[in-house]
């Protein structure tokens, strides 16, 4: 520090003029260039820097002449704050950069703040010298953030907000109508849309013209009932970024509402060949047996197939298959199951099969409503018989109504319908039994169903209550599929894995049914045994 001889103000060691009064400081330049100014206490690098008393010279500071030279190390650079008129006066604190007097690297920066003194007016301020400008440039360079290879540091891009999806029915580019949102994330939205500008005949993508005819093949676009469908991807990125990576994938690009859209797939989906092109052939097997411990077989079975063949094609292929497990003993269960099968056949044949065979396909939804109504009618008939005979007759029922490659399945009670596909057995129906409810509630394990004391207790059957709830299921069919309908006397004796084993061994449905009955009796035959197996094949496939 330099003490002004005129006003006694502390000034920087390299100052040429007093910051307070402007007087010349004749020895400041010589002292500055003589070497670094080191406060007392820093010769031993284990001691802290001593603070300078305000308004005075730091104690025990040796002069430049008294300090020994350091021939092995260059003089340490002293970084001072530039003479900035807006920064306030120097407080006497010293910043050392480079090496300490002991020659060790020193990166410690000591700063201090004191009450600012009033700045001199612009007229009283000393002129800024070239040395001051160089020092200010050095200080600015040291305080600037680091850069890599001279380039400013790249900033992380701000996260983009998710795009709100468009509502179905929105029309883009006066051409594409949004049908549904297929996929969504923070950067892209994938839609299915109809393309009003695509020719339905040749697939030309820019077919729309002023006269509403395809510009490629001349087909009329005005008669187009349903425009071809395409996939549109809405992207929240720049067009240039997309074109670098996905331009070959898209057929065309367009902007709409400030968003960029890509037509990713304008080709209509490839048509899947009909697996039953020549019609469905039903190969049926069925069997019923009283078992080893019952004298009377109270079960009834139905296997009905109607498959007209015209010009080597069977359309429609119709089938009605059912198993009814009668309950109530002699003059009870067998009557209830028989009534169920006969009433079911009469309703389905008259209301579904005959109209189909006469060329009058039933409207959508009619089979479901008809089947439910038929089963409710069976229940009402059995309830009337109970009052007439004074018995407690009843029956379970599982039924499959098949039209071509579509099966409608109804169920009341614990008789089951399975689907056998790709060497795997899947239960399609739900048991209306006490043990099934206990399994669903987690009270017992599934394997305990076969040994639980209440395994025969069912809470829903035909004839149990005046009003009955019917479960309905639908199932599409493929070549090679099998439907297996059976009573509890089958699945309790063989269990699912036993039924699977028979179906793996026996391809022919009738031999499979006979083998199931034989194995159930070998397992004990505790109840009546009834089963229907229907395998579906394409007509002409052998």
Residue 333: phi and psi, rounded to 5, are -65, -45
Q: Span 35-62, mean pLDDT?
A: 43
Band (26; pLDDT cuts 50, 70, 90): low
> Of the segments 78-92, 124-138, 239-253, 382-396, which one has the largest average pLDDT value?
382-396
- pLDDT-derived band of residue 23, with 50, 70 and 90 as boundaries? confident
pLDDT band at 497 (very low <50, low <70, confident <90, very high): very high
Tokens of 43: 């010769």
3-state secondary structure of 332: coil
Residue 448 C-alpha from the chain's centroid: 36
pLDDT score of 147? 45
Would the pLDDT of 530 be above 90?
yes
**265 Cβ contact list (under 8 Å, min separation 6):** 230, 231, 251
For the CA atoms of 49, 53, 57, 59, what is the dihedral angle to 10 degrees? -50
The band of 290, judged by pLDDT with boundaries at 50, 70 and 90, is very high
To the nearest 10°, report the CA torsion of 244, 250, 255, 261: -100
Q: Using 50, 70 and 90 to split pLDDT, how confident is the model at 154?
A: very low
Whether the per-residue pLDDT at 98 is higher than 80: the answer is no
pLDDT for 1: 62
Tell me: pLDDT of 325 over 60. yes
pLDDT over 60 at 440, yes or no:
yes
Q: Is the pLDDT reported for residue 177 higher than 70?
A: yes
Cα(471)–Cα(408) distance, integer angstroms: 11
**DSSP string of 501-513?**
HHHHH--SHHHHH
pLDDT at 101: 41
Binned at pLDDT 50, 70 and 90, residue 220 comes out as: low
Q: Which residue has the higher pLDDT, 253 or 204?
A: 253
- Using alpha carbons, select from 249, 246, 247, 242 the residue that is nearest to residue 267: 249
Ranking 150-164, 192-206, 403-417, 469-483 by mean pLDDT, the lowest is: 150-164
What's the longest Cα–Cα distance across the chain? 136
| 36-50 CB burial, b ≥16 within 10 A, e <16 | bbbbebbeeeeeebe
- Across 20-29, 281-290, 430-439, 508-517, least confident range: 20-29
In order of start, what are the domains of the chain with their CATH numbers?
Answer: 1-143 (no CATH), 171-265 (3.30.200.20), 280-538 (3.60.40.10)
Task: Reply yes or no on whether the pLDDT at 240 is more than 60.
Answer: no
Please report which confidence band the pLDDT of residue 111 belongs to, taking 50, 70 and 90 as the band edges. very low
At residue 8, the pLDDT reads 80
Cis peptide before 327 (omega within 30 of 0): no
**3-class SS at 427?**
strand
CA dihedral 370, 333, 459, 292 (to 10 degrees): -120
> DSSP string spanning 190-235?
EEEEEETTS-TTT--TT---TTSB-TTT--BSTT-SSPPEEEEEEE
């Amino acid at each position: 520090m330099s003490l002004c001889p005129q006003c006694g103000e502390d000034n920087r060691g390299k100052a040429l003029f007093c910051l307070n009064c402007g007087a010349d400081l004749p020895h400041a330049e010589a002292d500055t260039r003589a070497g670094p100014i080191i406060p007392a206490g820093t010769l031993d690098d284990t001691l802290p820097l001593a603070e300078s008393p305000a308004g005075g010279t730091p104690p025990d500071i040796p002069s430049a002449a008294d300090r020994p030279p350091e021939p092995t190390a260059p003089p340490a650079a002293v970084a001072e704050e530039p003479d900035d008129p807006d920064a306030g006066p120097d407080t006497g604190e010293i910043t050392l950069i480079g090496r300490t007097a002991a020659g060790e690297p020193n990166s410690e920066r000591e700063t201090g703040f004191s009450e600012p003194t009033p700045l001199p007016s612009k007229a009283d301020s000393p002129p800024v010298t070239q040395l001051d400008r160089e020092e200010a440039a050095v200080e600015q360079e040291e305080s600037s953030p680091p850069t890599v290879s001279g380039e400013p540091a790249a900033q992380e891009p701000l996260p983009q907000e998710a795009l709100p999806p468009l509502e179905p029915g929105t029309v883009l580019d006066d051409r594409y109508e949004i049908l549904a949102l297929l996929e969504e994330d923070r950067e892209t939205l994938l839609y299915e849309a109809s393309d009003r500008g695509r020719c339905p005949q040749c697939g030309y993508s820019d077919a729309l013209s002023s006269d509403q005819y395809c510009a490629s093949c001349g087909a009329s676009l005005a008669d187009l009932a349903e425009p071809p469908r395409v996939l549109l991807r809405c992207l929240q990125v720049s067009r240039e970024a997309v074109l670098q990576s996905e331009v070959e994938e898209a057929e065309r690009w367009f902007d709409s509402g400030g968003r960029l859209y890509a037509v990713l797939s304008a080709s209509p989906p490839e048509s899947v060949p009909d697996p039953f092109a020549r019609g469905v052939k039903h190969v049926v097997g069925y069997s019923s047996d009283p078992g080893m411990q019952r004298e009377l077989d109270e079960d009834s079975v139905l296997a009905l197939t109607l498959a007209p063949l015209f010009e080597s094609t069977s359309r429609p292929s119709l089938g009605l298959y059912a198993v009814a497990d009668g309950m109530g003993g002699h003059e009870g269960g067998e009557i209830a199951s028989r009534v169920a099968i006969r009433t079911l056949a009469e309703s389905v044949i008259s209301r579904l099969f005959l109209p189909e065979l006469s060329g009058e396909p039933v409207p959508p939804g009619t089979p479901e409503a008809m089947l439910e109504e038929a089963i409710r009618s069976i229940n009402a008939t059995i309830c009337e018989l109970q009052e007439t005979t004074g018995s407690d007759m009843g029956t379970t029922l599982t039924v499959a109504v098949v039209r071509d490659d579509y099966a409608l399945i109804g169920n009341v009670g614990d008789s089951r319908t399975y689907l056998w596909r790709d060497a795997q057995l899947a239960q399609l129906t739900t048991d209306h039994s006490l043990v099934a409810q206990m399994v669903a509630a987690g009270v017992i394990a599934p394997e305990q169903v076969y040994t639980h004391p209440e395994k025969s207790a069912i809470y829903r059957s035909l004839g149990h209550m005046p009003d009955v709830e019917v479960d309905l299921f639908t199932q599409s069919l493929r070549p090679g599929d099998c439907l297996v309908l059976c009573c509890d006397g089958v699945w309790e004796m063989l269990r699912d894995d036993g039924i699977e084993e028979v179906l793996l061994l026996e391809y022919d449905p009738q031999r499979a049914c006979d083998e199931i009955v034989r194995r159930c009796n070998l397992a004990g035959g505790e109840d009546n045994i009834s089963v229907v197996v229907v395998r579906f094949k394409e007509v002409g496939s052998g």
